[in-house]
Amino acid sequence: MTAPTLPRALAEGAHRQDATVTFGTSARRERLTYPALAEQIAAAARGFADQGVRPGERVMLRIGSSRGDLLALLGLMHLGATPVSVKPRVPGAVVGQYLAEVARQQGVRRAVRLSGHGLSELQLLLRPGAAPDPAPGDPDGIAFIQYTSGSTGMPRPIPLSHRAVLGNIEAISAVAGMEPGHAGLIALPLHHDMGLIGVLASLVRGLDLVIEEPGTFLRRPMAALRLIRDAEGAHSAFPDFMLRYLAARIGEAAEPDPQLFRAWRTVFCGAEPIRRRSVDAFLATTGHWGLDPTALVFCYGLAEAALMATSHRYVDAGTSFWTGGPATTACLGTPVPGLDLRVVDESGAGCADAEVGSVQLRGPTLFDGYDGATDHRTTWFDTGDLGCLRSGRLHLSGRRGDRVCVNGVNVFATDIEQVAATVAGVAECVVLPHGDSFAVVVVPERARRIDTRHLAACVTTAFGAAPETVIEVSHSGIARTASGKPARTHMAARLDQGLLR
């Protein structure tokens, strides 16, 4: 990949008349050829320039899945401005305060289709004309700034350089084997790194791209899946919960279509813990529809690394999961090319094989620190995740802040959740620190009751630590970040205040 910046990389593919981008929403579908998309990106850039936006200026926006949202993002970059992508919601935060804090941090004065909060509102205006070339840019200059999900507190800014994003796209396309003529399906929100980088990677590599609004996809997944049925090769990304959801929805179909997944080369799975029962259900169901199990690729990713840090292509359940403890962990593989990974103990010394420690990264696809001035090509970045290397392959235990301490023993919330989820009637669970122990918050399956005493006994037997309480809540009782992760800090505060019911 020779282009120095994202807009230049996108411009290199603007001639592909045979490649298309399809936007799917609840109202309709729109399809554009790559040349038509390139013309509209340039027209959006000219429209922002006419409203006074200048190269180098930082502009706030919320990125949805519509054509207009994508044009706003790419138009700003084409102009040489810096998009600042904010989340649509932040658990426990007042939206106005959140946006005001982002504006203060980034020196933002304008926002696209965001009114109030002391910001001047910009409109997406397409001003066609002779298509200009993208603004010149520095590979180490900031392509865009996105914010963390806020699962453990107020979101933090992540400035990503063109070099970091293009390097990660190259790594992703190499793992997936992406080729022009293949198709990509993105049904994840574009304010999340997994959705945004997935779209950018597909565009840079010249794929026929389907961008499906997440709610539309969840209501009618088969319609979107059929759009890429006959591609030469197909690629997508589904977190664990979507594997479970698709297994259930596809399983409802009366007659399998053995060709539906025949073209699929890659199903990236990451963003949340990967559960063996989700994978087993997904593969058992989609196998009748033509999916090769080795299309599944387990990933460890984070916004600070642009997206993907490690990958492991599924082999079989025995190879791709470790079952030596009370909880089963997925093999997340080895680092992508050019990225270094190590696991260290509290003194900073390297951990032995299978010893849990802090996961650290460095390399050219890392961001330049939350301050925008730390070169993580040479300086190790502490991810805040804990895990171990087993024969050189990463297995995650959980976030450092997600441990609960009982009688001097640290237990990972995600491990407890995995065991609790095996109890009959449990649809979902979240473990929170509480008192001298922890609380297990459970959502029952529809029309089911949960034996909370049995659940507590199962957890106690598995970990030698008893929960302080088990609380049943409805689905709405699980507070989530805009990226869909449980907002543990916010939920723990509500639990302590007696507000979690």
Q: Read off the pLDDT of residues 209-222 as tens digits, 9 standing for 90 and up.
A: 999 998 899 888 99
Summarize pLDDT for 193-242 with one digit per residue, the tens: 899 999 999 999 999 999 999 889 988 899 899 999 999 999 999 999 89
Instruction: With a cut of 60, say whether residue 39 has pLDDT above it.
Output: yes
> What is the pLDDT at residue 254?
67
144 has a pLDDT exceeding 80: yes
Does the pLDDT value for residue 84 go beyond 80? yes
Tell me the whole-structure pTM to 2 decimals.
Answer: 0.86
pLDDT at 461 over 70: yes
State pLDDT tens for residues 356-395.
999 999 999 999 988 888 899 999 999 999 999 999 999 9
**Structure confidence at residue 293 as a pLDDT band (50, 70, 90):** very high
pLDDT at 407: 67
Above 90 in pLDDT, residue 93? Answer: no
Task: Tell me what pLDDT residue 74 has.
Answer: 97
| Choice between 473 and 235, residue whose per-residue pLDDT is larger | 235
Look at residue 264 and tell me whether its pLDDT is greater than 90.
Answer: yes
pLDDT of residue 163: 95
Domains of the chain as residue ranges with CATH: 407-496 (3.30.300.30)
Question: Computed from CA positions of residues 340, 345, 349, 354, in that sequence, does the dihedral angle turn out positive or negative?
Answer: negative
At 29 the pLDDT is: 86
Among 168, 215, 216, 212, residue whose Cα is nearest residue 186: 212
| pLDDT, the chain, mean | 89
Residue 81 has what pLDDT?
97
The predicted structure's pLDDT at residue 352:
95
- 150 has a pLDDT exceeding 80: no
% pLDDT > 70, the chain? 95
Mean pLDDT of 447-468: 86
> 108 and 102 in contact (C-beta within 8 Å)?
yes
What local confidence, expressed as pLDDT, does residue 153 receive?
A: 55
On the CB side of 140, CA atoms within 13 Å amount to 8
Query: In terms of pLDDT, which residue wins out, 153 or 80?
Result: 80
Is pLDDT above 60 for 175? yes
Of the candidates 288, 406, 271, the residue with the CA atom closest to the CA atom of residue 332? 271
* pLDDT above 80: residue 96: no
Assigned token pair, 167: 């390097």
Q: What percent of the chain has pLDDT over 90?
A: 55
The pLDDT value given to residue 98: 81
How many other C-beta atoms can be found within 10 angstroms of the C-beta atom of residue 36? 14
What is the 8-class DSSP label of residue 176? H
Nearest C-alpha neighbor of 278 from the set 317, 310, 315, 234:
317
Q: What local confidence, expressed as pLDDT, does residue 26 receive?
A: 62
Tokens at 279, concatenated: 């994978």
pLDDT for position 422: 83
